[in-house]
Amino acid sequence: MKFSLVRRCHHRLSPSKLSFMASLTTQTPTPTPTDEDNLDDLLCPSTAGSATAAEIGEEREDVEKASFLGHPNGYLGGEAGIERAWAHWRKLGQPGLMVAPMVDCSELPFRMLCRKYGAQAAYTPMLHSRIFTENEKYRSMEFTTCQEDRPLFVQFCANDPDILLDAAKRVEPFCDYIDINLGCPQRIARRGNYGAFLMDNLPLVRLLVEKLARNLQVPVSCKIRIFPDLQDTLKYATMLEEAGCSLLAVHGRTRDQKDQRKLRADWMAIRAVKNAVRIPVLANGNIRHMDDVNSCLEVTGAEGVLSADALLENPALFAGFCTAEWAGEGEDGTKDGNLDQAELLVEYLKLCEKYPVPWRMIRAHVHKMLGEWFRKHPEVREDLNAQSRLTFEFLYDMVDRLRQLGCRIPLYVKESSNSEIVPAANGDVPCSL
């Protein structure tokens, strides 16, 4: 049964023993701001130590010895390649509940918060492959991970196979898939000739996949959008599989369909892709609560789902919690789940103290998680926006202020739940769902 995905047991989340930056050396100290600095681009202060060079070297050596299930290059075509793609997926525990890649939003602290509340795997934000290879500051600020942050997809945008391979090799010891962004529909992707705009140059897409598949120790995944014509989508998907893609995430909207609230994702197109390829497939689009998860798996036959915007507002989505907007959907009634977004924000801030990220990411998450709260008390939002330099003290005091104003907007769970739904100690989704 596909529904068993929402109850599958996964990795225990113990306190972090290892935190390191993408420079793969030591954590970059928090820079001293100058008058020219954008303060939101600075790292928030750390309360945790960084990895030693020896620890990082040991992890790299372990991964290099393991390779992609024993094959020296990780790439095999035909039946052998399909078998290895599935073997790797099963080795990871077949995670079905995923944090989608989100620019400036699916960073380490947020991934760890979502994992605590049921997410079974996660993508990094999209990383620009050329800047990643050229700029050490970009690497150290934009990619952070830790031992508990697995399974992990590291996503790059690219249009040059050699540059993409260089970037991928820098992070492959610390992830489970290198993902190629073939789905970004934004204007910046058009200008940079990457993401969904590579759908106009499929020979280049094939070269990107083949370059990684033949030279990395970890498998390659791709995240795509669909073509307006279904047959073009199916040809696209099978080409990626033939090129060496080991997992395919399909967003069920075209490149031009950007309004996610007005235009529903085409789950039947995802189902057609699932039936056309033999590698694991993930479905993306319209995943707002757990009823959507179950419905999507039923319709598409996919191995799992990705959620993006809904998780930003409600990081506890995969643990069965939903916002008031969706509380009335479904056959069962809902009740107060004894959890709210202010509590989730405090948990997120504590994770940011442990795993420093740029303040701009923190600011964005505050607005997403407390959006409805700010609509009730816009004066609190105005005070937040007036802060050129954020501090944890200010943000914790802001949450206290909202409490003192009597503001509480609960997250809801199904009325049919036998008991209060809380995240299990190891991050599993509770069986009461």
Rounded to a whole number, what is the distance in angstroms from the first to the last CA of the chain? 15
Judge whether 184 counts as a catalytic residue.
yes
Joined tokens for residue 113: 């918060």
Catalytic residue among 184, 245, 322, 352: 184
Residue 187: Cβ within 10 Å count: 9
User: What is the C-alpha separation between 64 and 45, in angstroms, rounded?
Assistant: 33
- Output b/e per residue, 72-101; b: 16+ Cβ within 10 A: eebbbeeeebbebbbebbeebebbbbbbbb
Instruction: Give the separation between CA 20 and CA 143, rounded to whole angstroms.
Output: 9
Residue 240 and residue 219 in contact, taking contact as beta carbons nearer than 8 Å: no
- Give the separation between CA 419 and CA 433, rounded to whole angstroms: 10
CA 351 centroid distance within chain: 16
At 153, the amino acid letter reads F
Give 208's Cβ-side CA count (13 Å radius).
Answer: 27
Q: Which helix (H) or strand (E) holds 239?
A: helix 230-243
Tokens of 187: 């204007």
Annotated catalytic residues are 184
